[in-house]
Amino acid sequence: MEKAFPLSEEETLAPYAMTSAKSRGRRYPEPEHPYRSSFMRDRDRVIHSRAFRRLEYKTQVFVNHEGDHYRTRLTHSIEVSQIARTVARTLGLNTDLAECLSLAHDLGHTPFGHLGEDVLHGLMKNDGGFDHNRQSLRIVERIEERYPDFPGLNLTYETREGIAKHSGVFDPGACPEYAEFRADEQPPLEAQMIDIVDELAYNHHDVDDGLESRLIDLDELCGSVTLFAEAVAEAKRRTPSSSARRNPNGPDSSGAERHAWINVSLRRVIDRLVSDLIATTRGRIQASGIETLEDVRSADRPLVGLSDELAAANRQLKRFLNQRLYRHPRIEKTRDTYRQILTDLFTAYRENPALLPESQRRRGVEEGIVRLIADYIAGMTDRYALEEHRRLFGATTLESLKQS
């Protein structure tokens, strides 16, 4: 089939960018599409997956029923993709691959945020453990069922490699899903950026949600995090209200002014971090003499990152969020309940696999019932896990959690 128009990746992207022509292809060969590149198709397959849609009801920090405006795993993934596209476009990289990896990076996350991952890892400690990066790879390679000719989504090697090497120490011997990817080879720059872009996105929006919920105090944030102290000070200088400037948290300061300061400050902080990421990465590429994709892969370290100054400032922000938001008593008080829900479900399915849907039990023949149970629970949304626990045990209800 003649293409509707020629793909121009080689003409428009930097010579060290990942292009469809340089791809190592798909596990199961398919004809090329007449007007969509390989990475455009990967992105579209991720977006149309069931796992992606379920991210709408998976916890980022606040569980779904706590409010309509808090981020979920879905909106987080979209925000990651926005930043990744900006960075990729500015550096001459492949925006389609960067967007695809951004949207796919959390497919394997459990219900109830990182707590769910920790619980499943503990329950699976004698059966290979649990890691959300590995689970994301399992989803796109095995669990999704959309095509009659192959399991999973049949994504390109580079997309799957980017998922496998998303964060943490990569060990190809840790599990069979990682076996085909080389530990001594850097992934393309589009994949290298996703971990730091992911971090910038969640730091940014977790501050926003924390301030919105009043679990984070604006004065305490400014007193602890230099990035925000500088940004808020600049926002206040631009605020016309002299009374609010004299006493920003007093009765003369309207909620609208506070909200405006927060919005302006958030924009300034994310712009500063993303601009630094672009400038630092460009400098490293030039200093390392990177000219081709092969140069990127053979480099002795990742090339995407923040400057020392901004990396330190970002770590300061992460510490603040860990201490003041993620461990806030309001967040902590429901953790034991959610931990018990997941443990109860896992135990019930293990003791009586007949409780699992028949379509799920069929898959257990290949890899064993324990991994099958982990797949099933990891795929649950927050609300489905609550409903399933109520169905099986009739003890913990969504209403009681709302009242806690």
Residue with the two structure tokens 């293409």:
3
In a domain, 211, yes or no: yes
Residue with the two structure tokens 């398919």:
30
Q: Would the CA dihedral through 279, 285, 289, 290 be positive or negative?
A: negative
For residue range 294-331, list pLDDT tens digits in order: 999 999 999 999 999 999 999 999 999 999 998 888 88
First-to-last alpha carbon distance for the chain, in angstroms, is 61
What is d(CA 115, CA 60) in angstroms, rounded to the nearest whole number? 11
- How many domains in the chain? 1
pLDDT on residue 251: 44
pLDDT on residue 401: 53
pLDDT on residue 133: 93
Q: Would the CA dihedral through 158, 164, 166, 169 be positive or negative?
A: negative
In a domain, 261, yes or no: yes
In a domain, 243, yes or no: yes
Tell me the pTM.
Answer: 0.91
Rg for the chain (alpha carbons), in Å?
Answer: 23
Q: What is the extent of the structural domain holding 304?
A: 200-327
In a domain, 246, yes or no: yes
* Three-class SS state of 26: strand
Q: To the nearest 10°, report the CA torsion of 177, 138, 201, 114.
A: -100
pLDDT on residue 244: 46
In a domain, 378, yes or no: no
Q: H-helix or E-strand containing 43?
A: helix 38-47
Which pair of tokens denotes residue 128? 């290979």
CATH of residue 241? 1.10.3210.10
In a domain, 255, yes or no: yes
What is d(CA 241, CA 139) in angstroms, rounded to the nearest whole number? 53
pLDDT on residue 254: 62
In a domain, 61, yes or no: no
The secondary structure of residue 223, as a DSSP letter, is H
pLDDT per residue, tens digit, the chain (404 aa), is: 455 555 578 889 999 999 999 999 999 999 999 999 999 999 999 999 999 999 999 988 877 667 678 889 999 999 999 999 999 999 999 999 999 999 999 999 999 989 999 999 999 999 999 999 999 999 999 999 989 999 999 999 999 999 999 986 678 888 889 999 999 999 999 999 999 999 999 999 999 999 999 999 999 999 999 999 999 999 888 766 544 444 555 444 567 777 888 899 999 999 999 999 999 999 999 999 999 999 999 999 999 999 999 999 999 999 999 999 988 888 888 888 999 999 999 999 999 999 998 878 777 667 789 999 999 999 999 999 999 999 999 865 545 554 55
In a domain, 356, yes or no: no
